[in-house]
Amino acid sequence: MRYSMGNNPITCPCCRHDSFQKDYRQLNSRGATFFGIDWANRNAIILVCEQCSYISWFLNEPDEHRR
Can you give the CATH number for the domain in which 52 is found? 2.20.25
Residue 22 counted as domain residue: yes
> What integer pLDDT is reported at residue 23 of this predicted model?
96
Q: Domain containing 14: what range?
A: 2-61
Residue-level pLDDT, tens digit, the chain, 67 residues:
999 999 999 999 999 999 999 999 877 656 656 566 655 556 889 999 999 999 999 999 999 986 5
What is the pLDDT, as a whole number, of residue 67? 59
Q: Which helix (H) or strand (E) holds 25?
A: strand 20-26
Read off the pTM: 0.80
Q: How many domains does the chain have?
A: 1
Name residue 44's amino acid: A
Q: Rounded to whole angstroms, how far apart are CA atoms 38 and 30?
A: 9
**What pLDDT is recorded for position 43?**
80
